[in-house]
């Protein structure tokens, strides 16, 4: 399977009042054509910043890409010239909060139609017709009446459908969805996930699903890329990662998920708190919270490497994956 997008040793830094924060610290992963990859991690793990780097929207002037590469279909996304025309057309993004992500002063039909007008030179009438088609496709009821409504007149779920319609306008080959259901009601979350899965199947596009919710991606993702403190700590096929976690952080996350069949009496939280990006622990960033940590973990930063168990695509950045695998719940 050849990679559609390849992120290599990506490093993104932010200037803050407390000093330089490395939000993404050497993250590498790939997305194959037609594949769904879940980018998992808690707040501050660098997953959203990674997406911003791909889209070229790292907040300036505070943030900058300090190293690494992102290639899409063999083209370098970090070179402005080469990336021109890819964003919006080939690579699209859906954001977490659809209310703040839609422009409050423009009609939704115009915001969707803008994709056709600016990128394809479509006339007003053509853009409007295309926007209407998209709104129907993403399941907005009475779409022809709602074309001229403003974002604040829609419910949260409908707004996110508008966002999705806008992202899909030019049939991108890669869609990045940054916590697309976090701001929505639980009942609506499932509808939006179903919609994304259906559209992905129809379009045959790749989907990068960014989330902190292990449950959201369990049914839809093919692969998982798990981030902690700006680094990828574990990656592999979703079943493998969920059932045979090779990193203590992943294992900890699995142990803290409630299950409905009552097999678990208590949830087991991960000890400690997420690290302060301004003063990361030496060695492995997770070592202060880890049961398996030894002196090596406090000095040497582990790199991603295949686990002793197959398949080789399942990799973890841990010095002691054997211990984690043996103690898995």
320, HSE (Cβ side, Cα atoms, 13 Å): 20
CB of 169 to another protein, least distance (A): 9
**Residue 199, CA distances (Å) to 94, 202, 204, 240, 323 in order:** 13, 5, 8, 26, 41
User: What would the two tokens of residue 182 be?
Assistant: 């976090």
CB of 48 to another protein, least distance (A): 11
CB of 316 to another protein, least distance (A): 32
Rg (CA), the chain: 21
Q: Which is nearer to another protein, 59 or 74 (CB)?
A: 59
Which positions lie near another protein, rule CB under 8 A? 55-57, 59, 61, 85-89, 92-93, 95, 97, 100-106, 114-115, 118-119, 150, 152-153, 163, 166
Q: Which is nearer to another protein, 61 or 308 (CB)?
A: 61
Q: Which is nearer to another protein, 64 or 264 (CB)?
A: 64
CB of 55 to another protein, least distance (A): 5
Question: What SS3 state is found at 24?
Answer: strand
What residues contact residue 287 under an 8 Å CB cut-off, 6+ apart? Answer: 281, 293, 297, 298
Q: Which is nearer to another protein, 55 or 229 (CB)?
A: 55
User: What would the two tokens of residue 263 be?
Assistant: 């097999």
Q: Which is nearer to another protein, 73 or 322 (CB)?
A: 73
**Residue 147, CA distances (Å) to 81, 108, 121, 153, 239 in order:** 35, 6, 20, 11, 41
């Amino acid at each position: 399977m050849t990679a559609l997008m390849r992120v290599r040793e990506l490093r993104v830094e932010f200037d803050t009042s407390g000093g330089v924060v490395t939000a993404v610290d050497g993250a590498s992963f790939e997305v194959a054509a037609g594949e769904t990859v879940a980018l998992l991690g808690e707040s501050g793990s660098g997953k959203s910043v990674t997406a911003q780097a791909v889209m070229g929207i790292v907040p300036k002037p505070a943030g900058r890409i300090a190293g690494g590469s992102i290639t899409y279909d063999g083209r370098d996304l970090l070179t402005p010239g080469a990336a021109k025309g890819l964003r919006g057309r080939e690579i699209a993004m859906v954001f977490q909060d659809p209310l703040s992500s839609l422009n409050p002063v423009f009609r939704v039909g115009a915001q969707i139609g803008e994709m056709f007008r600016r990128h394809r030179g479509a006339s007003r009438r053509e853009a409007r017709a295309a926007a209407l088609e998209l709104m129907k496709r993403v399941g907005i009821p009475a779409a022809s009446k709602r074309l001229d409504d403003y974002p604040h007149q829609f419910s949260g779920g409908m707004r996110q459908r508008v966002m999705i319609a806008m992202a899909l306008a030019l049939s991108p080959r890669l869609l990045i969805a940054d916590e697309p259901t976090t701001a929505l009601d639980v009942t609506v979350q499932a509808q939006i996930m179903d919609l994304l899965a259906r559209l992905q199947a129809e379009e045959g596009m790749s989907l990068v699903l960014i989330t902190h919710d292990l449950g959201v991606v369990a049914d839809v993702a093919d692969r998982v890329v798990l981030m902690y403190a700006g680094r990828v700590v574990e990656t592999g096929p979703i079943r493998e990662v969920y059932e045979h976690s090779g990193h203590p952080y992943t294992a900890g996350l699995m142990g803290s998920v409630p299950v409905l069949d009552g097999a678990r009496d208590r949830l087991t939280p991960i000890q400690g708190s997420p690290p302060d990006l301004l003063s990361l622990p030496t060695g492995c960033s997770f070592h202060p919270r880890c049961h398996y940590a030894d002196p090596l973990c406090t000095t040497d930063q582990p790199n991603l490497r295949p686990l002793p168990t197959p398949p080789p695509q399942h990799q973890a950045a841990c010095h002691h994956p054997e211990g984690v695998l043996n103690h898995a719940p």
